[in-house]
């Protein structure tokens, strides 16, 4: 069973690139017949990722609409050229793309669409232009989803959202959470004092991260706690953190530098205002990175972990609750946390599960997956 998983990418987006690269290398190590490609205009990318990219030439003298059309036409022409070599397509869903619908409608091989967000809601949040684009996406996107062989969503909430979009609750669907290529870190457990220390990381803290809510909750609390903030923050959040010594602001750091801070931390903190994106569920890479460092996570949204999984806590932005959870979970070693988390965060295990489910749905034998 030969599968091609692809995504469109106009400019280099580290999160998507790392996620798809981990999938590619996981498939290679598992000896799964899966190819993963990012279709992109010619651009400089780190050598490590070159095999992941399928580059194309796009005219520079065309209008914005002309370039948009040429880029996508090149993508779907390339996909059609692979039709005789594969059994299934998995495409990262692209919004307001009528060519995507036409490709799926006329494809000779099954096409599954991967959804990472509530597309219509996200477009509508972009103002007037976004609302116009959401109308286009509702028209062409709904037809593309209907024509596809199945919905793949990173959370159950997103799967249900897509089924409601097309008013087909029986549409074949699969949950494929974000995962990481687990790497054994050579870290030490330096949780040496009695004051809980927490780590909150983002490349940039957007409003849906809820840093403002955390700052407010700390201000209203007398709890003895230290919160390490890593990443870029808004000016107002920066000023508000400066007046409370319980916050330790580090700015942007390398992964190795974050690991050093994580050694002394008791908890990782997830986002606290996902409702600002009209979402209650997520499966962010940040949480998976925390767990791979041996950090239990306290967050303000539901994740895909089962109810019995004790190293992820979903609750309100309440410092008393955060401190109590930190103290309750302190007795577990970081190795214990990593071991129990692996089945839910390992890219290899999540990928194999998805492909086996697709094989079962297609009445394929599992031997054709591996």
Higher-confidence position of 141 and 369:
141
Instruction: Write a three-state SS string for 153-206.
Output: ECCHHHHHHHHHHCCCCCCCEEECCCCECCCCCCCCCCCCCCCCEEEEEEEECC
Q: CA separation (Å) from 18 to 6, 8, 12, 359, 365? A: 14, 14, 11, 26, 30
pLDDT in tens, 82-92: 999 999 999 99
Give the angle subtended at the CA of 343 by the CAs of 339 and 349, to the nearest 5°: 130
pTM of the predicted protein model = 0.85
pLDDT in tens, 325-365: 999 999 999 899 999 999 899 999 999 999 999 988 776 55
Q: How far apart are CA 158 and CA 163, in angstroms?
A: 9
Q: Binning pLDDT at 50, 70 and 90, where does residue 370 land? A: low
pLDDT in tens, 152-183: 999 999 999 999 999 999 999 999 999 988 77
Of 2-11, 181-190, 301-310, 317-326, give the lowest mean pLDDT range.
181-190
pLDDT at 59: 85
pLDDT in tens, 115-131: 999 999 999 988 999 99
Averaged pLDDT for residues 92-98: 97
Q: CA separation (Å) from 266 to 162, 190, 330? A: 37, 9, 7
Give the angle subtended at the CA of 185 by the CAs of 182 and 191, to the nearest 5°: 120
Which residues are CB-neighbours of 331 under 8 A, at least 6 positions away?
A: none
pLDDT at 249: 97
Q: Encoding tokens for residue 108? A: 């000779």
Instruction: Write a three-state SS string for the chain.
Output: CCEEEEEECCCCCHHHHHHHHHHHHHHHHHCCCEEEEEEEECCCCCHHHHHHEEEECCCCCCCHHHHHHHHHHHHHHHHHHCHHHCCEEEEECCCCCHHHHHHHHHCCCCEEEEECCCHHHHHHCCCHHHHHHHHHHHHHHHHHHHHCCEEEECCHHHHHHHHHHCCCCCCCEEECCCCECCCCCCCCCCCCCCCCEEEEEEEECCHHHCHHHHHHHHHCCCCCCEEEEEEECCHHHHHHHHCCCCEEEEECCCHHHHHHHHCCCCEEECCCCHHHHCCCECCCHHHHHHHHCCCCEEECCECCCCCCCCCEEECCCCHHHHHHHHHHHCCCCHHHHHHHHHHHHEHHHHHHHHHHHHHHHCCCCHHHCC
Is 367 a residue whose pLDDT tops 70? no
Sheet of 53-56: strand order equals 53-56, 34-41, 3-8, 88-92, 111-115, 150-153, 173-175
The pLDDT mean for the chain works out to 92
Q: What are phi and psi of 36, to 5 degrees?
A: -125, 125
Could you tell me the domains of the chain? 3-179+347-368 (3.40.50.2000), 197-345 (3.40.50.2000)
Q: At what angle do helices 14-30 and 285-292 cross, to 10 degrees?
A: 60
Q: How far apart are CA 320 and CA 148, in angstroms?
A: 47
pLDDT at 189: 81
């Amino acid at each position: 069973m030969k599968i091609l998983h692809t995504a469109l990418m106009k400019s280099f987006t580290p999160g998507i690139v790392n996620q798809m690269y981990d999938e590619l290398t996981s498939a290679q190590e598992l000896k799964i017949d899966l190819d993963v490609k990012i279709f992109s205009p010619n651009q400089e990318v780190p050598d490590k990722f070159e095999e992941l990219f399928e580059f194309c030439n796009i005219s520079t003298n065309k209008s914005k609409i002309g370039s948009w059309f040429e880029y996508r036409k090149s993508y779907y022409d390339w996909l059609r050229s692979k039709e005789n070599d594969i059994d299934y397509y998995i495409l990262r869903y692209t919004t307001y793309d009528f060519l995507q619908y036409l490709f799926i409608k006329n494809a000779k091989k099954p096409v599954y669409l991967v959804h990472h967000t509530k597309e219509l809601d996200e477009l509508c949040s972009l103002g007037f232009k976004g609302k116009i684009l959401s109308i286009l996406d509702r028209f062409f996107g709904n037809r593309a989803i209907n024509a596809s062989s199945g919905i793949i969503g990173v959370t159950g909430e997103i799967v249900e959202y897509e089924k409601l979009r097309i008013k087909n609750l029986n549409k074949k669907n699969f949950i494929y959470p974000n995962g990481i290529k687990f790497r054994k870190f050579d870290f030490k457990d330096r949780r040496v004092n009695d004051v809980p220390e927490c780590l909150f990381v983002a490349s940039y803290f957007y409003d849906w991260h809820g840093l403002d809510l955390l700052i407010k909750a700390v201000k209203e609390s007398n709890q003895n706690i230290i919160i390490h903030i890593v990443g870029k923050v808004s000016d107002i959040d920066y000023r508000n953190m400066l007046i409370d010594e319980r916050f330790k602001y580090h700015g942007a750091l390398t992964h190795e530098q974050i690991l050093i801070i994580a050694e002394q931390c008791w908890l990782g903190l997830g986002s606290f205002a996902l409702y600002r994106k009209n979402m209650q569920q997520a499966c962010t890479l940040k949480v998976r990175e925390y767990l791979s460092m041996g950090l239990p996570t306290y967050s303000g949204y539901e994740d895909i972990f089962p109810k019995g999984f004790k190293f992820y806590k979903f609750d309100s932005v309440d410092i008393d609750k955060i401190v109590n959870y930190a103290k309750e979970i302190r007795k577990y070693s970081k190795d214990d946390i990593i071991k129990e988390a692996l089945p839910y965060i390992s890219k290899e295990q999540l990928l194999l599960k998805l492909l086996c489910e697709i094989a079962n749905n297609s009445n394929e034998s599992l031997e054709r997956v591996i």
